[in-house]
């Protein structure tokens, strides 16, 4: 397996629930290292740009509204197979379908307020990390 980096966002619902530390502990226990991090209130433009691939989807406006409803915690994670590993930790998009013990099963309330985002492929991971972090803000390997 290759050493990878992925973008993770702890969404406004999970930040409001005060579970940033609990979610970070899951990353760490799975061998994922935080190599960049910032807390941020996203602007509407930033959220729309980040989710541009979903622009034509019926849930786009609700998704953007939710993502700007409060601060988010954004991090780049590094580790062997980090992209898939983070997706495994997150669980299914809909928390009702997420496996027990996953972040979404334990902390998410609905498909909209679903606690975390994680990049879904190597190409999107690189684009998403660069969307939020300058290269000088990410730890060198």
**Regarding beta strands 33-40 and 116-118, do their DSSP bridges make them parallel or antiparallel, or are they unpaired?**
unpaired
Footprint on residues 42-71 left by ligand RTP (CB under 6 A): 54, 59, 63
The three-class DSSP label of residue 139 is coil
Helix 82-90 and helix 20-29: axis angle, to 10°?
Answer: 130
Selecting among 14, 117, 125, 128, the annotated active-site residue is: 117
54 a catalytic residue: no
Q: CA-CA distance, 12 to 61, in Å (whole number)?
A: 16
Candidates 30, 106, 120, 126; binder of ligand RTP (CB under 6 A) is 120
Verify binding: residue 125, ligand RTP, rule CB under 6 A. Answer: no
Tokens, residue 31: 């061998």
CA distance 109 to 134: 32
Q: Phi, psi at residue 12, to the nearest 5°? A: -55, -35
- Residue 95 makes contact with ligand RTP by CB under 6 A: no
Q: Is 72 in the site for ligand RTP (CB under 6 A)?
A: no
Does residue 87 have a known ligand-binding role? yes
Residues interacting with ligand RTP, by CB under 6 A? 54, 59, 63, 93, 111-112, 114, 117-118, 120
Annotated active-site positions, please?
117
**Residue numbering of the annotated binding site for ATP:** 11, 59, 87, 93, 104, 114
């Amino acid at each position: 397996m290759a050493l990878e980096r992925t973008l993770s966002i702890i969404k406004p619902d999970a930040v409001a629930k005060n579970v940033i530390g609990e979610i970070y502990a899951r990353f760490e226990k799975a061998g994922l290292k935080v190599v960049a991090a910032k807390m941020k209130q996203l602007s509407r433009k930033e959220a729309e740009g980040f989710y541009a691939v979903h622009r034509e989807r019926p849930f786009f406006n609700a998704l953007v509204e939710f993502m700007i409803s409060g601060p988010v915690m954004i991090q780049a994670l590094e580790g062997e197979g980090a992209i898939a590993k983070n997706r495994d930790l997150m669980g299914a998009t809909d928390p009702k379908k997420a496996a027990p013990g996953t972040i979404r099963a334990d902390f998410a309330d609905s498909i909209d307020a679903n606690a975390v985002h994680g990049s879904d492929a190597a190409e999107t991971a690189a684009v998403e990390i660069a969307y939020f972090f300058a290269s000088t803000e990410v730890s060198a390997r």
